Protein backbone atom coordinates (compact mmCIF):
# COMPACT_ATOMS: atom_id res chain seq x y z
CA UNK A 1 0.00 0.00 0.00
CA UNK A 2 1.09 3.61 -0.43
CA UNK A 3 -0.03 6.87 1.14
CA UNK A 4 -0.59 8.51 -2.24
CA UNK A 5 -2.88 5.71 -3.49
CA UNK A 6 -4.44 4.33 -0.30
CA UNK A 7 -4.28 7.30 2.11
CA UNK A 8 -2.17 5.24 4.50
CA UNK A 9 1.25 3.63 4.63
CA UNK A 10 3.08 1.53 7.19
CA UNK A 11 6.80 2.12 7.76
CA UNK A 12 8.24 -0.63 9.90
CA UNK A 13 11.40 0.27 11.85
CA UNK A 14 11.03 3.96 10.97
CA UNK A 15 12.44 5.12 14.30
CA UNK A 16 15.30 3.37 16.11
CA UNK A 17 14.66 1.19 19.16
CA UNK A 18 16.95 3.48 21.22
CA UNK A 19 14.92 6.58 20.44
CA UNK A 20 11.72 4.68 21.25
CA UNK A 21 13.14 3.52 24.57
CA UNK A 22 14.22 7.03 25.54
CA UNK A 23 10.92 8.60 24.48
CA UNK A 24 8.84 5.98 26.24
CA UNK A 25 10.83 6.57 29.44
CA UNK A 26 10.28 10.35 29.22
CA UNK A 27 6.51 9.87 28.83
CA UNK A 28 6.25 7.38 31.69
CA UNK A 29 8.23 9.88 33.80
CA UNK A 30 5.73 12.61 32.88
CA UNK A 31 2.92 10.32 34.03
CA UNK A 32 4.72 9.54 37.31
CA UNK A 33 5.36 13.23 37.99
CA UNK A 34 1.68 13.98 37.37
CA UNK A 35 0.58 11.24 39.78
CA UNK A 36 3.11 12.39 42.38
CA UNK A 37 2.12 16.04 42.25
CA UNK A 38 -1.63 15.34 42.20
CA UNK A 39 -1.49 12.70 44.92
CA UNK A 40 -3.48 10.34 42.69
CA UNK A 41 -2.92 6.69 41.80
CA UNK A 42 -2.41 5.06 38.44
CA UNK A 43 -5.95 3.66 38.49
CA UNK A 44 -7.43 7.12 38.94
CA UNK A 45 -6.39 7.87 35.35
CA UNK A 46 -6.12 11.62 36.02
CA UNK A 47 -5.16 12.42 32.43
CA UNK A 48 -7.34 10.15 30.34
CA UNK A 49 -8.99 11.85 27.39
CA UNK A 50 -12.46 11.75 25.83
CA UNK A 51 -11.33 9.24 23.25
CA UNK A 52 -9.93 6.49 25.50
CA UNK A 53 -10.72 5.30 29.02
CA UNK A 54 -7.98 3.60 31.08
CA UNK A 55 -5.22 5.74 29.67
CA UNK A 56 -2.86 8.57 30.45
CA UNK A 57 -2.55 11.19 27.73
CA UNK A 58 -0.74 14.46 27.26
CA UNK A 59 -0.84 17.23 24.68
CA UNK A 60 2.43 18.02 22.90
CA UNK A 61 5.06 16.94 25.45
CA UNK A 62 8.45 18.49 24.61
CA UNK A 63 10.00 15.18 23.60
CA UNK A 64 7.23 14.53 21.05
CA UNK A 65 7.09 18.06 19.63
CA UNK A 66 10.89 17.73 19.18
CA UNK A 67 10.48 14.45 17.30
CA UNK A 68 7.66 15.93 15.21
CA UNK A 69 10.02 18.59 13.88
CA UNK A 70 12.95 16.22 13.23
CA UNK A 71 13.03 12.41 12.89
CA UNK A 72 9.32 11.79 12.45
CA UNK A 73 8.91 14.70 10.04
CA UNK A 74 11.62 13.19 7.84
CA UNK A 75 9.69 9.91 7.66
CA UNK A 76 6.35 11.61 6.98
CA UNK A 77 7.76 13.81 4.20
CA UNK A 78 9.31 10.75 2.59
CA UNK A 79 5.97 8.94 2.71
CA UNK A 80 3.69 11.74 1.49
CA UNK A 81 6.22 13.07 -1.02
CA UNK A 82 5.95 16.70 0.01
CA UNK A 83 6.92 19.15 2.76
CA UNK A 84 4.79 19.25 5.90
CA UNK A 85 4.39 21.53 8.92
CA UNK A 86 3.94 20.08 12.44
CA UNK A 87 0.72 21.01 14.20
CA UNK A 88 0.67 19.11 17.51
CA UNK A 89 1.55 15.81 19.14
CA UNK A 90 -0.10 13.60 21.67
CA UNK A 91 0.82 10.53 23.67
CA UNK A 92 -1.14 7.77 25.29
CA UNK A 93 -0.18 5.18 27.84
CA UNK A 94 -2.84 2.51 27.38
CA UNK A 95 -3.66 0.26 30.32
CA UNK A 96 -5.62 -2.99 30.50
CA UNK A 97 -9.22 -2.43 29.38
CA UNK A 98 -8.47 0.66 27.27
CA UNK A 99 -10.75 1.09 24.26
CA UNK A 100 -10.33 3.74 21.58
CA UNK A 101 -13.62 4.78 20.06
CA UNK A 102 -14.03 4.98 16.32
CA UNK A 103 -13.24 8.48 15.09
CA UNK A 104 -11.54 10.64 12.50
CA UNK A 105 -8.92 13.14 13.63
CA UNK A 106 -9.55 16.86 13.96
CA UNK A 107 -8.80 19.68 11.52
CA UNK A 108 -5.13 20.06 12.53
CA UNK A 109 -4.59 16.43 11.53
CA UNK A 110 -4.45 16.60 7.73
CA UNK A 111 -1.72 13.97 8.01
CA UNK A 112 -1.49 11.73 11.08
CA UNK A 113 1.34 9.45 12.14
CA UNK A 114 1.10 6.89 14.93
CA UNK A 115 4.42 5.67 16.35
CA UNK A 116 4.53 2.66 18.64
CA UNK A 117 7.03 3.21 21.49
CA UNK A 118 6.58 0.16 23.70
CA UNK A 119 4.31 -2.88 23.89
CA UNK A 120 3.35 -5.75 26.15
CA UNK A 121 5.03 -8.56 24.20
CA UNK A 122 2.33 -11.06 25.20
CA UNK A 123 -0.48 -8.98 23.73
CA UNK A 124 -0.62 -7.65 20.19
CA UNK A 125 -3.05 -4.77 19.97
CA UNK A 126 -3.81 -3.74 16.40
CA UNK A 127 -4.97 -0.35 15.22
CA UNK A 128 -8.18 -0.91 13.27
CA UNK A 129 -8.90 1.28 10.26
CA UNK A 130 -11.54 1.52 7.58
CA UNK A 131 -9.74 1.89 4.28
CA UNK A 132 -10.88 3.79 1.19
CA UNK A 133 -12.78 0.72 -0.05
CA UNK A 134 -14.68 0.61 3.27
CA UNK A 135 -12.84 -2.56 4.27
CA UNK A 136 -11.64 -2.99 7.83
CA UNK A 137 -7.93 -3.48 8.19
CA UNK A 138 -5.93 -4.35 11.27
CA UNK A 139 -2.33 -3.21 11.80
CA UNK A 140 -0.05 -4.55 14.51
CA UNK A 141 2.93 -2.41 15.49
CA UNK A 142 6.25 -3.07 17.17
CA UNK A 143 8.32 -0.26 18.74
CA UNK A 144 9.66 1.96 15.96
CA UNK A 145 6.87 1.22 13.46
CA UNK A 146 4.91 4.19 12.14
CA UNK A 147 1.51 4.23 10.43
CA UNK A 148 1.07 7.39 8.36
CA UNK A 149 -2.55 8.01 7.39
CA UNK A 150 -4.97 10.68 6.29
CA UNK A 151 -6.46 11.40 9.70
CA UNK A 152 -9.46 13.25 8.31
CA UNK A 153 -10.38 10.56 5.81
CA UNK A 154 -9.81 7.17 7.45
CA UNK A 155 -11.85 6.29 10.55
CA UNK A 156 -9.85 4.31 13.12
CA UNK A 157 -10.34 2.65 16.51
CA UNK A 158 -8.97 0.01 18.89
CA UNK A 159 -10.78 -2.92 20.49
CA UNK A 160 -10.47 -3.48 24.29
CA UNK A 161 -6.83 -3.86 25.34
CA UNK A 162 -5.90 -7.09 27.12
CA UNK A 163 -2.25 -6.31 27.85
CA UNK A 164 -0.61 -4.41 30.71
CA UNK A 165 0.82 -1.29 29.05
CA UNK A 166 1.33 0.01 25.53
CA UNK A 167 2.78 3.43 24.77
CA UNK A 168 2.04 5.21 21.49
CA UNK A 169 2.86 8.69 20.24
CA UNK A 170 0.87 10.63 17.64
CA UNK A 171 2.19 13.30 15.32
CA UNK A 172 0.00 15.59 13.25
CA UNK A 173 0.83 17.75 10.26
CA UNK A 174 -0.58 20.00 7.57
CA UNK A 175 0.86 20.26 4.08
CA UNK A 176 3.25 23.15 3.54
CA UNK A 177 1.73 23.75 0.11
CA UNK A 178 -1.85 22.99 1.19
CA UNK A 179 -4.68 25.25 2.30
CA UNK A 180 -4.37 24.68 6.06
CA UNK A 181 -1.08 26.43 6.83
CA UNK A 182 -3.04 28.68 9.21
CA UNK A 183 -3.04 25.64 11.52
CA UNK A 184 0.77 25.60 11.80
CA UNK A 185 1.76 24.48 15.33
CA UNK A 186 -1.97 23.99 16.04
CA UNK A 187 -2.13 27.83 16.07
CA UNK A 188 0.35 28.11 18.98
CA UNK A 189 3.14 30.73 18.64
CA UNK A 190 5.73 27.93 18.78
CA UNK A 191 6.08 24.20 19.34
CA UNK A 192 6.27 22.96 22.93
CA UNK A 193 3.57 25.26 24.30
CA UNK A 194 0.38 23.94 25.86
CA UNK A 195 -3.15 23.85 24.38
CA UNK A 196 -4.09 27.06 26.23
CA UNK A 197 -1.68 28.96 23.97
CA UNK A 198 -3.63 28.14 20.80
CA UNK A 199 -5.08 31.10 18.93
CA UNK A 200 -7.93 28.88 17.70
CA UNK A 201 -9.23 26.00 19.84
CA UNK A 202 -10.36 22.80 18.06
CA UNK A 203 -14.02 23.89 17.72
CA UNK A 204 -12.91 27.16 16.12
CA UNK A 205 -10.50 25.26 13.87
CA UNK A 206 -13.38 23.01 12.86
CA UNK A 207 -15.41 26.02 11.70
CA UNK A 208 -12.48 27.14 9.54
CA UNK A 209 -11.70 23.66 8.19
CA UNK A 210 -14.65 21.26 8.71
CA UNK A 211 -13.94 17.54 8.94
CA UNK A 212 -16.58 14.96 8.00
CA UNK A 213 -17.58 12.59 10.79
CA UNK A 214 -17.32 8.99 9.48
Q: Which is nearer to Fe ion, 105 or 110 (CB)?
A: 105
Interacting residues with Fe ion (CB under 5 A): 105
The most distant pair of C-alpha atoms in the chain lies apart, rounded to whole Å, by 49
- Taking the complex as a whole, how short is the minimal distance between the CB of residue 59 and Fe ion, in angstroms? 14
Q: Which is nearer to Fe ion, 149 or 185 (CB)?
A: 149
- Taking the complex as a whole, how short is the minimal distance between the CB of residue 23 and Fe ion, in angstroms? 19
Q: Give the three-state DSSP class for 62.
A: helix
Q: Which is nearer to Fe ion, 65 or 105 (CB)?
A: 105
* List of E strands, 61-149: 84-95, 100-103, 111-118, 127-130, 136-139, 146-149
DSSP structural state of residue 7 = S
Q: Which is nearer to Fe ion, 49 or 69 (CB)?
A: 49
CB 47 within 8 A of CB 37: no
- Taking the complex as a whole, how short is the minimal distance between the CB of residue 102 and Fe ion, in angstroms? 10
- Taking the complex as a whole, how short is the minimal distance between the CB of residue 60 and Fe ion, in angstroms? 15
CB 146 within 8 A of CB 175: no
Considering only CA atoms, give the Rg of the chain: 16
Amino acid sequence: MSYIKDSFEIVNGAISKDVCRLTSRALIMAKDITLHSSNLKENDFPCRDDMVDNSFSRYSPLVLDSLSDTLVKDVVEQVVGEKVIPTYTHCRLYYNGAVMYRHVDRSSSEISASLCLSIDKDHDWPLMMEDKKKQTISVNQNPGDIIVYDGNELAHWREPYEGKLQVNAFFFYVKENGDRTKLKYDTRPMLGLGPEDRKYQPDEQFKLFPVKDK
